[in-house]
Structure 1
Amino acid sequence: MEGERGEIPQKTFFLPRELLIRQALQDFFIHNVTFTFESFLQFRLKEYQERLRYYAELAIDEYKLEQDYQILIHQLRQAANERQSSTGDVYVMHLNKNKFVLYDHSSRYVPERECAALAEAFLSEQESLYIDSTIIAPLLSLSPAAIHLYSDQHDHDFVYTIQNIFQEKVMLYEKNEFPFDQKQNIT
């Protein structure tokens, strides 16, 4: 209601909620008019009720999205737990926005075409899952023993999702702690 969560699109209202109530009551106090509470709620607070209805609808939509997300995470967690680990530790560098790069257990940069092949292999086995194919699907395909994730945005959606899927396998670090030389591998 306060617009604190930027990821939830909201309408901008001309008047604050408190002012709607104050204006609705103002006439009654100034002119000393008698009224019933039911009529006050029904007629004078109609705009306020419409705004509350809007917020309730947003909350319900957000709740449904969160439920869908939790179901997806549960399915991905199960898929990750069912797979045998095909590699040791992997290293993930969060470069910017939604750009992640992967390094294998021997500190070798995994090119995008290799990540795409890993994603395709996993997604062909799990056709019912709709997930990101740039980093999450390759990680699920590899099913590493541990994931060392380097990011300056610990609240980023993909960082959060990787942590939720792989749980205790994920170690989160700052980008400046990345142990390998990136310049030779990333273009």
Structure 2
Amino acid sequence: MKMIYNPFERLSTNSLLIAGILLTVAGGLLAWQFSAHYDGVLDLHFVAETQLQTPFIELLINIACLGLLLFLAAKKINPKTRQIDIICAVLVSRLPFYLMTPLNGGGRIYEATDRLQQMAVNNDIKSILPADMMLLAILGFVSLLFLVWFFALLWNGFKVACNAKGSRPVWYFIGTVIAAEVLSKILILYTL
């Protein structure tokens, strides 16, 4: 059970790196297959269609932003922190996002959210389909669980990488994730 939220204490750096790279490639292919965008460190959005290179560019930006900023924060906590350990934490922690992409099989999530947006624009909320609401409610619940899993993986990887103790690393971690989200959004906006 501990491997699900903290593989960093049990697996070697090489194993984590290889797993992280393979997961990232699989995540990019899944995003392309299921029309998903990772348009921010903490974001997953579904669209009508995605070009093959788009999720890979987004992943590269997300991983670079989060990896660099977490590494800088970790160095403040422990100057002996290795960059490879932070990169492994970032790569492996993205697994929950990749596992959510198949939820858009057949474009169901995209179509339901698009219908809901159109109803909101037209001020026609009364005609919401119960099936759409159920689908979006389930997606919201699953997304929340997977986001918690992402943070558990990322925090545990960060904590192990820099041997974090006390409350100061928690604040560094939170601030860094927020900064990485903002930076990644800006870079993705101007890159794609």
Bigger fraction of residues in strand = 1
Bigger fraction of residues in helix = 2
- Bigger Cα Rg: 1
Q: Which has the higher contact order (CA 8 A, sep 6+)?
A: 2
TM-score, with normalisation over the residues of structure 2? Answer: 0.24
TM-score, with normalisation over the residues of structure 1? Answer: 0.25
